[in-house]
Structure 1
């Protein structure tokens, strides 16, 4: 199985992280067909990476600024049977691609996503991760690293781009974009990632471009499956500013806004199916566990329970605001008829 790996990059501030990500892909036991770095409208970074990574295909984002345009550009360049995506501030375990590849023996599998663990503040530097990746020393470290804030609930690890409590291996509605792979054919069936949903130059940390794509793909090919494989492990860096409660709250609100855009595209039933299950089952259990921990003397448990309540409320508020914003232009058009 030929797998092209696409890494979307945009800033020189992640120079060391980018090279650590590339080193981890080079060290894969299932060797990639090619590594593609897509540079998002940054000519200086593009020129520097072409010089420093001569064995990597470095291309400029040919579409609109942002992650969706970068991914679409990478797909258009890729020559593999499968296209895998890795975040530019993440490193992959040596069996990452092998864990993806084994599922593609089943012709009904259109995409496979993996387990993303957090590199919290205090984790090894990018240079150290690059050294470990190049020597294959990441294997077996299937645990998060650094210092997770005591108040931060695992049920909301998606706010920092990581696998969250409640995800289970097997068929899944959508994959997480920074640790995902798709058959090249999937993009011929569903088209590319939609602009205006994922992260771009917008100041808010919007997301969900991969959610909308996965739902749209399965609406067009309901016989295809998307699979979550927890053996396909990567580690994703969480900078200090994203480990703060202010970012947590902002990210939850932005997720609600993004979900409103997703449901406008693919419908409410498919767009919110997983979110309803998470809110009705996983989050109450998490809040109860936090309260129980507090009663047993873990003061941070109360913080986790409170963060779950705040996170759910702010996500719902963002969704309500996004839905109302979508309805206003429609009502204005109808009133003008």
Structure 2
């Protein structure tokens, strides 16, 4: 039986700083070399006119836009996605590389009309060596897939915007990413998870995780430090409480609770195997995330809920 035809897809790549110029050039090359050729590659620049002009001057063959919203990656991605006219829109970060079958693999599940989005596996590309204390279960802290995720294509609550494809009709219907909620400065809030929740609630759609659609996500040496790890876990704890507040709590954090219940077993496994530093990393990550969640819970009780709305 022949496979369903692949739907036309645009690829959106947000960027904000010339410090990532070599990475951006590589990411664009990966996007343009996909076996399932994208209809358009859209690069969106976050309030950096000099970078915008350089891309237009030096990287022909791509669509270059300026962020139409306030500073931040959520507005960057929305600008590109709302510009696209294809049935599907893919998102890549500007510091990743992907194999030629990446897009093809992520598009395949859309043969099921109930699928509103897909995401792929993410391997950390360490600039320096992986820290000995980094637990497999906490690779999400550096933007990687972590232990316990599905190993075959499966339904999942959320994926990550570094490697994501959305059905544009569903994305438009919920207003895209929630502007002002994503990564900006030292705040690191889960704008991709929050989007996934809203899109899943739309007519009972669901997300698929495709581990065979692998990207490699750069991890600079400065993000391989223990202090970065603790700060990242703390920020995640705060961000998840904020996300639950936007969705009135309920079952919003059900996946997080299941994840937390899996960590004692992981701790004992590493301890028993003599991986004492990794076992310590699990304790530190849980403590930092828990502290962040507690801080945000107290802060939320002291101030009214911020008005953070989708773009449309």
TM-score tier (shorter): over 0.9
Paired residue secondary structure (1:166): coil
Q: What TM-score, normalized to structure 2?
A: 0.92
The range that moved more, 185-194 or 21-30, is 185-194
* 2:34 alignment partner in structure 1: 28
Aligned equivalents of 2:168, 2:97: Cα separation in 1: 23
Following TM superposition, by how much is the alpha carbon of 1:313 offset from its aligned partner in structure 2, in angstroms? 1.2
After superposition, the C-alpha distances for 1:72-115 in whole angstroms (9 at most, x for unaligned) are 10111112111111110001111001001111111111101000
Aligned equivalents of 1:110, 1:203: Cα separation in 2: 30
Asked whether 1:238 is paired with 2:222, we answer: no
Kept in 2, the 8 Å contact 1:115–1:233? The answer is: yes
* 2:138 alignment partner in structure 1: 156
Structure with the bigger percentage of helix: 1
Asked whether 1:320 is paired with 2:294, we answer: yes
* 1:59 alignment partner in structure 2: 65
After superposition, the C-alpha distances for 1:224-282 in whole angstroms (9 at most, x for unaligned) are 1100001111000000010110000000000011111100111323321111011102x
* 1:101 alignment partner in structure 2: 107
Q: What TM-score, normalized to structure 1?
A: 0.86
Paired residue secondary structure (2:139): helix
* 2:3 alignment partner in structure 1: none
Kept in 2, the 8 Å contact 1:215–1:270? The answer is: no
Question: What pairs with 1:60-209 in structure 2 (closer than 5 Å)?
Answer: 60-122=66-128, 147-168=129-150, 169-200=153-184, 202-204=185-187, 206-209=188-191
The range that moved more, 254-263 or 322-331, is 322-331
Q: Which of 239, 259, 264 is equivalent to 1:284? A: 264
Aligned equivalents of 2:266, 2:146: Cα separation in 1: 11
Following TM superposition, by how much is the alpha carbon of 1:207 offset from its aligned partner in structure 2, in angstroms? 2.7
* 1:302 alignment partner in structure 2: 276
Following TM superposition, by how much is the alpha carbon of 1:33 offset from its aligned partner in structure 2, in angstroms? 1.0
Aligned equivalents of 1:275, 1:119: Cα separation in 2: 25
The range that moved more, 1-10 or 283-292, is 283-292
Kept in 1, the 8 Å contact 2:82–2:172? The answer is: no
Asked whether 1:249 is paired with 2:223, we answer: no
Following TM superposition, by how much is the alpha carbon of 1:330 offset from its aligned partner in structure 2, in angstroms? 4.3
* 2:303 alignment partner in structure 1: 329
Asked whether 1:212 is paired with 2:194, we answer: yes
* 2:309 alignment partner in structure 1: none
Unaligned regions of 5+ residues in structure 2, if any? 1-6, 306-312
Kept in 1, the 8 Å contact 2:170–2:202? The answer is: no
After superposition, the C-alpha distances for 1:2-26 in whole angstroms (9 at most, x for unaligned) are 1110110000000000000011111
